Structure 1
Amino acid sequence: MQPHVRPFFHRDSNTWSYVVSEPEGRAAAIVDPVLDFDIRSGRTSTASAQALLDDVRERDLDVAWILETHAHADHLSAGDWLKRRLPRARLAIGEGIRSVQKTFGPIFNLGGHFPVDGSQFDHLFGADEAFAVGALTSRAIPAPGHTSDSNAYLVGDALFTGDSLFMPDGGTARCDFPGGSAAALYRSIQRLFELPDATRVFVCHDYGPDGREVACETTIGAQKRHNIHVREGTGEAQFVQLREARDATLAMPALIIPAVQTNIRAGALPEPENNGTRYLKIPLDTL
């Protein structure tokens, strides 16, 4: 089946979020929702998440899942905010989130009271676990490499790749975060390339290379023919060399510190302290 996919672009982080729904019927899922965050003032807002919520309400959709492709480093997740407004939706991520929590929990000194078992989420997908969005047959496909918890989601004929693949002229995502691996990403992409060429691919980020308009949709066939980092015929060693050389030139994402400590909590902000204010930590000389 071919689901309806409605994209939403968050310009501040170049992130695409999606509402994917049955072609006939009310069942839907939200993929990679963004919580607006101004690093200069420390203020959060929910305009981007509200746009997703307005869309599903206007179309009277029944949201079964809020799907995170991984614990993002470039934006804060609105998963928790949406879940509290969509009580029938289950907030889910891949089971690799446990290793990410174990890595970053000590970095942010979250202490023994912070569970590193993924229990902040309603569901942790196992490898190639099947799930349903109404009548849409769906599958969670492990895609480690960018991060150890990265998943892609195949919903009908629509593949949501997270940060594994960008648009063909954008290549692939970095692999130099803790738990990342260029070799693992190469192998993950080869698995995705086994899907039919006509599979629609929806990316999580686009930066408009060479000034083109931002875009979000391509196909597996186009990726295999044209991806600038990993098209058909690119060997693993060649890809690893290219990816690691490029990663060595990249600065840390501007929001990695607030984003990761929020996203390993399933998008929940820290509890208020005794003055009623919430605080995010900045570890010095660590990352």
Structure 2
Amino acid sequence: MIESPRPLVQAFFDLDTCTFTYVLYVEDGGACAIIDSVLDFEPRASKTGTQSADAVIGFVRAHGLRVEWILETHAHADHLSAAPYLQTHLGGVVAIGAGIRVVQRAFQKVFHLPTELEPDASQFGRLFEPDEVFCIGRLRARAMHVPGHTPADVAYVIEADDGMPQLVFVGDTLFMPDVGSARCDFPGGSARSLYRSAQRILALPSATRLFMCHDYPPAGREPCAETTVAVQRSTNIHLREGIGEDQFVELRQRRDATLGMPALILPALQVNIRGGELPPMEANGVRYLKIPINGL
């Protein structure tokens, strides 16, 4: 009997944005996927950098991996995606959930991009429909639609041959149990949808490994990438067993009302709804980001 391929995961943590990027693979020399990459950005100088992405490139090359996919769990509001840079150096298809069109339409209006941005998601190489199955080398993956934080969020479920999940990259649906859940007050966000999406993840087998997109550890704890369904069910401060939908919605909305906007939301969304591409160069050879006044 041939055993299911055992996935290997290498995590990279960007301290500035508290973001995890992952390389998912089975063996050296095989296929891999890169999930939720980071392009460094210094907002005071409006300057991009590639140190975070170059660390991923170094790992991929050191292990002789072949990049098949550069996956986004959603259009991030807290960091810029390095997907085009990685694709230039490593190849692979940039992919996201089909709900990205809804997010594009919303922020096309915020940034007034009537001609610069077609909200048809053509900026991405592949759009996943809800629960669409695809392969990463010998691994079988499923794009679980988990709206709530945004309408476009997906969690990437990596399944064994028997269809049971081995691990899940949850995006901004769940955080570590002592942090709870993601905010839902961006355009198209919904605390009620997030609760229901989280319940889909928490209905998976107890031993399922869950990989976070972010960690904001309380004092005294180091950043942590991984937990399990069982631990989330029993200890998540927002979503543990016994917390119902109405209670979660009230809690989430009350907390969201106290939160400021992410520091990089304006540059990040302009770039990420374009599949990570920077705005087009103008006649003077410079690219410009828009800053809408009171636009959010």
1:201 aligned partner: 210
1:38-77 aligned at under 5 Å gives the runs 38-77=42-81
1:113-128 mapped onto 2 (5 Å cutoff):
113-128=116-131
Moved over 2 A (4+): none
List per-residue Cα deviations over 1:84-141 (Å, max 9, x = no partner). 2222x11000001000000000111111342101110000000000010111111000
Query: 1:244 aligns to what SS in structure 2?
Result: helix
Distance 1:93 1:230 in 2: 26
- Say if 2:24 is the partner of 1:20: yes
- Residue equivalent to 2:11: 7
Structure 1 residue 210: Cα displacement: 3.1
Task: Write the distance in 2 (CA, Å) between the matches of 1:61 and 1:202.
Answer: 21
Is it true that 1:96 corresponds to 2:99 in the alignment?
yes
Residue of structure 2 in register with 1:107 after alignment = 110
Distance 2:289 2:150 in 1: 22
- Following superposition, the deviation at residue 253 of structure 1 comes to 0.3
TM-score using structure 1 length:
0.98
Shift of 1:24: 6.8
TM-score using structure 2 length = 0.95
Give the total of aligned pairs: 286
SS of the counterpart of 1:138? strand
CA contact (8 A) 2:53 2:86 kept: yes
Match of 1:251 in 2: 260
Structure 2 unaligned regions, length at least 5: 160-165
Do the aligned residues in 1 keep the contact of 2:29 with 2:66 (CA within 8 Å)? no
* Contact 1:22 1:133 survives alignment (8 Å): no
Is the Cα contact below 8 Å between 1:27 and 1:64 reproduced in 2?
A: yes
Once residues 260 and 113 of structure 1 are traced to their aligned partners in structure 2, the CA distance between those partners, rounded to angstroms, is 14
Shift of 1:181: 0.2
Compared CA separation, residues 276 and 24, structure 1 to 2 (3 A): closer
Q: How does 1:207-222 map to 2 (within 5 A)?
A: 207-222=216-231
Is contact 1:100–1:179 with CA below 8 Å preserved after alignment? yes
- Is the Cα contact below 8 Å between 2:28 and 2:63 reproduced in 1? no
Q: Which runs of 5+ in 1 are unaligned?
A: none
The answer as to whether partners of 2:28 and 2:64 remain within 8 angstroms in 1 is no
Other structure's SS at 1:30 match: strand
Tell me the secondary structure at the aligned position of residue 84 of structure 1: helix
Contact 1:2 1:158 in 2 (8 A): no
- Report matched runs for 1:130-279 at 5 Å: 130-156=133-159, 157-279=166-288
Q: Give the Cα–Cα distance (whole angstroms) in 2 for the partners of residues 282 and 266 of structure 1.
A: 19
Cα RMSD for the two superposed structures: 1.0
Q: CA deviation at 1:25?
A: 5.7
